[in-house]
């Protein structure tokens, strides 16, 4: 009886963690695009002196970067699961990542200033469509590598059924045949495709882009250790930009974090 209650508790925890993630994901669209449904957005009137606001924003991004990368590393997972059930490990990672983003959204400080502002209607439509495509690509990429495993639901569901967890096979579905990291390519489009680039937005885009490029190196190091065939895949398929004039055959691929 206690074992079944524990399984239900872990499943409920995983489901709640996923719902918090999904709400945060949707809010991210409004935050970056300055949409009306988001009470706090990327841009706005500065509320603090420039250097104070800049320091707060950099600190918030650093907190997310450290949490997101540290908790994704195999060594941390091995240590962490001494106290956290392995079935709930991924859900805990997802929950902490969501909380780090909520912290960022709650205390983000606009800097003011304008880098560019495209007033041409066609240009704004193209950039808006690119922004939307970026978000669609992010979601699509998670589906290709098993959305429910990536965000912990598969783990807690198998635990609820009493079925041992099995690692996913190494594959290159869909866009993973064109680039190794379509999910990160989508994030780049989300961060940079904007008709109005403020100093605040530029700071956010530059720092998150640097983080993504660094995170790719860490993830690929882990993938090479876990999947020797990833070396061939990496040599055949470009990292972020598809090759013009055809695509290479690949052995397999998936995001690590």
- How many domains does the chain fold into? 1
Query: Could you give the 3-state DSSP secondary structure of residue 179?
Result: coil
Query: Could you give the 3-state DSSP secondary structure of residue 115?
Result: strand
pLDDT tens-digit series, residues 48-79:
999 999 999 999 999 999 999 888 888 888 88
Query: Could you tell me if residue 65 is inside a domain?
Result: yes
Q: Which residues contact 192 (CB under 8 A, 6 or more apart)?
A: 205, 209
Query: Could you tell me if residue 41 is inside a domain?
Result: yes
pLDDT tens-digit series, residues 163-193:
999 888 888 888 999 999 999 999 999 999 9
pLDDT at 46 over 80: yes
CA 75 → CA 38, 69, 70, 78, 113, distances in Å? 37, 12, 9, 5, 42
Query: Could you tell me if residue 243 is inside a domain?
Result: no
pLDDT tens-digit series, residues 6-32:
899 999 999 999 999 999 999 999 999
Query: Could you tell me if residue 8 is inside a domain?
Result: yes
Query: Could you tell me if residue 228 is inside a domain?
Result: yes
CA nearest to 216, candidates 235, 240, 237: 240
Query: Could you tell me if residue 211 is inside a domain?
Result: yes
pLDDT given for residue 252 in this prediction: 43
Query: Could you tell me if residue 30 is inside a domain?
Result: yes
Q: Residue 228 sits in which domain range?
A: 2-236
The pLDDT mean for the chain works out to 90
pLDDT at 4 over 80: no
CA nearest to 145, candidates 179, 172, 165: 172
Query: Could you tell me if residue 178 is inside a domain?
Result: yes
């Amino acid at each position: 009886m206690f074992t079944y209650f524990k399984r239900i508790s872990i499943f409920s925890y995983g489901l709640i963690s996923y719902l918090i993630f999904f709400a945060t994901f949707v809010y991210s669209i409004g935050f970056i695009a300055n949409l009306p449904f988001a009470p706090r957005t990327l841009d706005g009137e500065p509320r603090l002196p420039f250097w104070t606001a800049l320091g707060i924003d950099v600190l918030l991004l650093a907190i997310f970067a450290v949490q997101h990368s540290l908790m994704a590393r195999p060594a941390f997972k091995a240590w962490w699961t001494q106290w956290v059930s392995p079935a709930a490990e991924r859900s805990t990672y997802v929950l902490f990542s969501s909380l780090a983003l909520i912290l960022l959204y709650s205390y983000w400080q606009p800097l003011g200033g304008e880098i560019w502002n495209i007033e041409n209607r066609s240009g704004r439509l193209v950039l808006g469509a690119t922004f939307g495509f970026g978000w669609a690509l992010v979601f699509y990429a998670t589906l290709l590598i098993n959305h429910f495993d990536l965000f912990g639901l598969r783990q807690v569901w198998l635990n609820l059924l009493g079925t041992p967890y099995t690692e996913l096979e190494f594959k290159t579905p869909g866009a993973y045949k064109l680039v190794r990291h379509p999910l990160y390519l989508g994030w780049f489009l989300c961060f940079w495709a904007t008709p109005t680039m403020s100093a605040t937005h530029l700071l956010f885009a530059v720092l998150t882009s640097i983080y993504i490029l660094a995170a790719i190196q860490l993830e690929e190091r882990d993938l090479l250790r876990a999947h020797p065939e990833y070396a061939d895949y990496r040599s055949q398929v470009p990292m972020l930009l598809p090759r013009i004039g055809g695509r290479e055959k690949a052995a397999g691929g998936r995001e690590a974090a």
